[in-house]
Structure 1
Amino acid sequence: MVSLSCLFLTYGLIEGQHFKWSMYIVGILIISVVIFIIFYVQQKLRQKRDPLIPFALFEDRNYTLMNVVGVFFSIGVLGLMLLLSIYFQSILGYDAFRAGLTLVPASLISMCVSPFAGKFSNKIDGKYLVLAGLALTLIGMIWVFFIMNGHNYWVQFMLSMVITGFGNGLLISPMAAVAVKEVKDEVAGAASGVMNTVRQLGTVGGSAAVGALLQNRISAMNHGSEFESVFDISTKFGGHLSGYLTALRESLLLPMAAIALACIACAFVRKNAKRLSTNEVK
């Protein structure tokens, strides 16, 4: 049911601009909300008999906050990658392969840093590692915002990708560790599954929201004219790209705001939490 709700939500956000946010799109979004409410009520009624999502998990402050951080982090990072892919292909004229290669350093750095961050989370309070990772990610995004001028070479994005990748790698493992540190052993599996699902929902919903915002801004810059795809900007509008570059930069503010909100949520996480064992609970 959550997947179905997410499907309607994503479709509504992506196609909203095309249908000029008509009642058809409003109806799709309402259906998404209704399906989610039905799922919530169904799970509420099953709390005493093997629920899919134990709501008691969210009584743990750190677990709840780390889920919030995970959602905003997913929105921020996926939104950044989406906008950069469009920028490289539509503004700079890269093909998909070259655009992908330009983004590779972020993934490589993240992959290399993540194992060490997991080890350090046992020595340093994970909250601070997550905060540091979010801060670095935000710095990398701000860097991209200011160098996105339509006349870049791929090498100019290397440092921002390295900073962003380092930030991502620094926070992923500690974020999970902080989230489940106080969770009871008997629901640890459910806690991990719920957190991963919430992050995936943030990824899907966030990328759809960023895409919808970009379509809206491009349409506004083009005085409401329709376009087939944001990837066709350069071919359809020729050299008049300043307005569409502005639309991309304005859309980047949404992922940046998401990371900033993740930082705020992380600031309220309790320090030095101790994991509760089954015996301690009893």
Structure 2
Amino acid sequence: MSASAAGRSAAPIPEPRAWRALAALCVGLFITLLDQSLVAVSLPRIREDLDASINQVVWVSAAYLLTFAVPLLVTGRLGDRFGQRNVYLVGMAIFTAAAFACSMAPTIEWLIALRAVQGLGGSLINPQPLSIIHRIFAHDRRGAATGVWSAVASSAGLFGPVLGGVLVGTGGWRWVFFVYIPLGLISLVMVARYVPKLPTGARRIDVLSAVVSLVAVTGVIFSLQQGPDVGWTVWVWVVLGIGIVAFGVFVRLQRTAVARGTEALAPLGLFTRRNFTLGVTAVATLGFTVYSVNLPIMLYLQVGQGLSAQVAGLMLVPMGVISVIMAPLIGRVTDRVAPGRISRIGFSAMIAAMLSFGVAMHLEATVGWLLIPIVLLGFANSLCWAPNSTIALRDLPGDLVGAGSGVYNTARQVGAVLGAAALGAVMQMGEGTLGFGAAMGNAVLLPVVFLLVGLVAVSRFRESSTVIGATGA
């Protein structure tokens, strides 16, 4: 039997059913990733209709982001303990019910509270699909499946602002939340029908580690999220310090889990696996870059070049279209070439795109010149995301894949928050001392430093799941 045939025979369910399961999971991915761009469009109308302050409107998005990102380490492990399919269904039920409640919210305070509940539902959903993909597809088909997954993620970012503008313009901001209801119900039915029940791994959840991880991630994300807005006052640094100390305690708890008679929430054995450790490092640099650069790009197009918001949004469409088309193709190729080859090209292309943006903005280049880095960034996205997640997770044993997915997604989200805070600080400092184009240019050049770290990481991917040292906790 050939290696390819052997890999396919290892699939726990027939491949046609696996693809139907992936389609069901992609519905949930689409609506949870659609949320930030969709809701952002509605914030001005929410402020007007509910007579909210700017700070309250900011918290409509911030509350969701906080409760989405903070529990990811725990929710990934919950999938291992209770089954990824079950946790996904609970999360989608919470997300959909909270969306319905948000559409009926009578006050801004109620809306913020319900958005926090909706974020918790999204956090329960988010780690499960990658875990399921790496358990229902044969080893040599996971790249293709992850490529489709990445294409759907790219399309969410592309259609969010467009769909949000239509919904807010025709029906009002409440329709932004109401549209989640039919999509959520479709996802619930499809996942219940097509996604199989998979064997569970973790026997128990370490409650102490769970609590400490929540404190650690909350401290880091909350301080990075709010620091730029409040001028990095003393209390923000205290919160950040508490988060860092809690992280140290969390690592210690993972190391002593067996001695304490429990199972680690994020087994340190994950980090003895070379490709996983390198992939987590790389995805943090991707999160830092991709989730933060749209703001200086959009500001440059609208303020620096005088484009309307609608035209500026259309300028970014080629980036999304290229990512959607290329990601599934790149995913298939990932299964056939040496690990890291595509990723090196992708990270190099993303570095080139950031450098091109920076130079163009410093020179205050016209809009046409911006299309070059925009198109390049679209190609880079398709070459980075799917190969990185495929290589990082595909060799993890079944009982660790949920924990690995939680760690992987947490690294991405922390990178994203750090990137937003860092680029915001660079823009604010530059705007007071430099020209507007130079200030935005400096902001998009900052991620280059982090992407170089990511490039080094993916350049060290290996063919097999190399284990470094001991197996850990």
TM-score, with structure 2 as normaliser:
0.49
Residue 136 of structure 1 corresponds to 349
Residue 113 of structure 1 corresponds to 326
Count residues with an aligned counterpart.
250
8 Å Cα contact 2:254-2:264 kept in structure 1 = yes
1:59–1:274 CA distance, 2 compared to 1 (3 A): closer
Q: Distance in 1 between matches of 2:286 and 2:408?
A: 13
Confirm whether residue 31 of structure 1 aligns to residue 214 of structure 2: no
Q: Distance in 1 between matches of 2:381 and 2:402?
A: 24
Residue 14 of structure 1 corresponds to 228
8 Å Cα contact 2:331-2:387 kept in structure 1 = yes
Task: Between 36-45 and 174-183, report the one with greater CA deviation.
Answer: 36-45
8 Å Cα contact 2:301-2:307 kept in structure 1 = yes
Percent identity of paired positions between Structure 1 and Structure 2: 26
Confirm whether residue 264 of structure 1 aligns to residue 456 of structure 2: yes
Q: What SS does the aligned partner of 2:291 have?
A: helix
Residue 181 of structure 1 corresponds to 394
Quote the offset at 1:136 in angstroms.
1.1
Residue 249 of structure 1 corresponds to 441
Residue 141 of structure 2 corresponds to none
Residue 195 of structure 1 corresponds to 408
Residue 11 of structure 2 corresponds to none
Greater RCO, 1 or 2 (C-alpha within 8 Å, sep 6+): 1
Superimposed CA distance per residue, residues 99-118 of structure 1 (whole angstroms, 9 cap, x where no aligned partner): 22212211211111111111
Q: Distance in 1 between matches of 2:254 and 2:395?
A: 23
Of 412, 422, 443, 1:209 maps to 422
Matched to 1:266, the amino acid is: V
Superimposed CA distance per residue, residues 90-148 of structure 1 (whole angstroms, 9 cap, x where no aligned partner): 21222332222212211211111111111111111131111111111111222212222
Computed over aligned residues only, the root mean square deviation of the Cα atoms, in angstroms, reads 2.4
Q: Distance in 1 between matches of 2:410 and 2:387?
A: 17
Q: Distance in 1 between matches of 2:459 and 2:281?
A: 12
Quote the offset at 1:251 in angstroms.
2.0
Residue 150 of structure 2 corresponds to none
8 Å Cα contact 2:291-2:420 kept in structure 1 = yes
Q: Distance in 2 between matches of 1:24 and 1:141?
A: 34
Residue 126 of structure 1 corresponds to 339
Residue 285 of structure 2 corresponds to 72
8 Å Cα contact 1:62-1:178 kept in structure 2 = yes
Q: Distance in 1 between matches of 2:311 and 2:339?
A: 36
Of 310, 317, 334, 1:97 maps to 310
Q: Distance in 2 between matches of 1:40 and 1:8?
A: 20
Matched to 2:291, the amino acid is: L
8 Å Cα contact 1:114-1:171 kept in structure 2 = no
Quote the offset at 1:10 in angstroms.
1.9
Q: Distance in 1 between matches of 2:436 and 2:285?
A: 25
Q: Distance in 1 between matches of 2:294 and 2:336?
A: 32
Quote the offset at 1:216 in angstroms.
2.4
Q: Distance in 1 between matches of 2:441 and 2:365?
A: 14
User: Can you give the 5+ residue segments of structure 2 that lack an aligned partner in the other structure?
Assistant: 1-213, 468-473
Q: What SS does the aligned partner of 1:70 have?
A: helix
Matched to 1:159, the amino acid is: I
Highest CA radius of gyration, 1 or 2?
A: 2
Quote the offset at 1:44 in angstroms.
4.5
User: Can you give the 5+ residue segments of structure 1 that lack an aligned partner in the other structure?
Assistant: 222-241, 277-282
